[in-house]
Amino acid sequence: MTRCLALLFAVTTAHMAVAEQLVFEGRIEASDRAVLSSRLNGVVAEILFEGGDHVKAGQPLIRLDPTDVALALEMTEARLAEAQARLDGAARRTARQEEMLDRGVAADATVGPARTERAMAEAAVALAEAERRRAALDLERAIIRAPITGLISPPAVAVGTFLEAEVAPPLATIITLDPAVVAYQAPYAERLASLEATGSRTVAELLETVRVKLRLPGDRIYPGEASPHAASPEVDAETGTVTVWARFPNPDALLRPGMAVMVLSEIGQTEVAQ
């Protein structure tokens, strides 16, 4: 549970300069998280990562056996070639019928069926092209890529595992550690009091004046500071607090999700007329 450990107000004679210092219990969260999944049924042929690896968005991580999808692509290409040949023939026959109609040696009744045949052939080509695009997409999906950049967990499958796209569990989890996010609970009543003391009109405006530092286990102060970028839209009915989030640069991955820290929060000095 969040504990407010210190509160300090400094008052000058001509103006009121507020420097509110608070200490909260916080916890580190990943700034982004994604699960690795397959959108294609298939057998795992190769795993290209190990747990703890830093992966980049788009990087190949798992290869499925492409034999079936490659064959399906070849079949769709053959059907497309057949449909295109039928369309070419239908177009030639229609052109001949229309030419004969113009010369007065053919009736409308013979041109109509030719045009219908050509339209059906065009539709067949469009369908074959769509099937080919779908087969090509399936072949691309035989390579499962990282959806985001971050650190990846150990693989949850092994080579030879058959994956069913609709029911397969997550294959791995990727978390983004840079930046890292600290979450802490702040008493909302005190935030309302700070609004009046600082002259801020909204909580969002108040957060812009807040500077946050972190005290790590062992009383080490984390280098750098941040401003909160978001607060929860609701007040916790039991604790009377709102959750506040702040992003910290974390190039060395020193801050890890789940890590407990102390949040040193200070509202910057703002002069308010008496």
Residue 9 included in any domain: no
Residue 54 shares a structural domain with residue 77: no
Q: In terms of pLDDT, which residue wins out, 61 or 209?
A: 61
Average pLDDT of the chain, as a whole number: 85
Residue 57 shares a structural domain with residue 147: yes
Judged on CB neighbours under 10 Å (0-12, 13-18, 19+), 118 is buried
CA distance 256 to 187: 25
The total number of residues written for the chain in this structure = 274
Which CATH number covers residue 194?
2.40.30.170
Residue 157 shares a structural domain with residue 243: no
Q: What is the pLDDT of residues 218-260, one digit of tens each?
A: 889 999 889 888 888 899 899 999 899 999 999 988 999 999 9
Residue 245 shares a structural domain with residue 215: yes
Domain count for the chain, please give it: 3
Which CATH number covers residue 153?
2.40.50.100
Residue 43 shares a structural domain with residue 160: yes
Q: What is the pLDDT of residues 72-104, one digit of tens each?
A: 999 999 999 999 999 999 999 888 888 888 777
- Is a pLDDT exceeding 50 seen at residue 65? yes
Residue 159 shares a structural domain with residue 191: no
- Is a pLDDT exceeding 70 seen at residue 28? yes
Residue 2 included in any domain: no
* Residue numbers of the domain that contains 185: 15-31+179-273
Residue 46 shares a structural domain with residue 98: no
Question: How many alpha carbons fall within 13 Å on the CB side of residue 88?
Answer: 6
Residue 156 shares a structural domain with residue 265: no
